[in-house]
Amino acid sequence: MKIYISASLKKQRVEATGEIHNYFQLVPGSRVLALGFKPGLGVAHFAYLDSRQYIDKLNTYTSIEAQQAFERGERITPVGVLVKAGREFWARYIKGGGFKDGWRGFYISLFSAFYEIVAAAKLQELTILGRREAIESHYWQEAEEILKAYDQPQSPAGS
């Protein structure tokens, strides 16, 4: 495993973006060095402790990704999301060797595929229904109409 870092310590060589999985970007023209692993100097990064934390992050990140995709004008079809989810599972479980990690590798690969499905569903909701606030407002209006109907005097059956 190699870690890539910018050879310059200047802040102008790396910039932060608003993207979830692509947060730091090198500024064009930055020089990059590839550093090999040295025993005792490695860092083990665990992105989540358990399934619950993974799903919590999945919910947060898919909302952000869907909003960003919506703002870029992206759209996806049901077939497209199935293909994307299938590719994600394949990339994690088969190509990435998730099968070597036993049940954890299997479930993480499934979660990763599900991530793609959830992000697509949230994008579809934004496209068709709009933002959550608009949906809630619409539902409140519908609820009010339903409740008003109960306040109306009921005519006797058969009259």
| Per-residue pLDDT tens digits for 85-110 | 999 999 999 999 999 999 999 999 99
- 83 shares its domain with 131: yes
- 23 shares its domain with 75: no
Does some domain include residue 93? yes
- 103 shares its domain with 130: yes
What is the domain extent for residue 131?
51-151
| Confidence (pLDDT) at 109 | 96
Helix, strand or coil, per DSSP, at residue 138: helix
* Listed residue (103, 21, 113) closest to 60, CA to CA: 21
Query: Are 90 and 112 in contact, with CB atoms under 8 Å apart?
Result: no
Q: With a cut of 70, say whether residue 159 has pLDDT above it.
A: no
Contacts of residue 144, defined as CB under 8 A and 6 or more positions apart, other chains included, come to none
Domain count, the chain: 2
- The predicted-structure confidence for 118-153, as pLDDT tens digits, reads as follows 999 999 999 988 888 888 888 899 899 898 888 777
Query: Are 62 and 115 in contact, with CB atoms under 8 Å apart?
Result: yes
- 30 shares its domain with 103: no
Does some domain include residue 94? yes
Does some domain include residue 143? yes
Q: With a cut of 70, say whether residue 7 has pLDDT above it.
A: no
Q: With a cut of 70, say whether residue 8 has pLDDT above it.
A: no
Lowest-confidence region among 8-22, 53-67, 70-84, 99-113: 8-22
| Confidence (pLDDT) at 76 | 92
| Confidence (pLDDT) at 47 | 84
- 79 shares its domain with 147: yes
User: How confident is the prediction for the chain on average, in pLDDT?
Assistant: 85
| Confidence (pLDDT) at 54 | 93
Does some domain include residue 131? yes
Q: In angstroms, rounded to a whole number, what is the distance separating the alpha carbons of residues 66 and 119?
A: 6
Tell me how many degrees the CA angle 122-96-113 measures, rounded to the nearest 5.
20
Q: How much is the pTM?
A: 0.68
Structure tokens that stand for 114 in this block: 């599900």
**In whole angstroms, what separates CA 131 from the centre of its chain?**
17
DSSP lists the bridge partners of residue 33 as 5
Query: Are 31 and 8 in contact, with CB atoms under 8 Å apart?
Result: yes
DSSP lists the bridge partners of residue 25 as 15
Does some domain include residue 114? yes
Contacts of residue 92, defined as CB under 8 A and 6 or more positions apart, other chains included, come to 98, 105, 108, 109, 112, 113
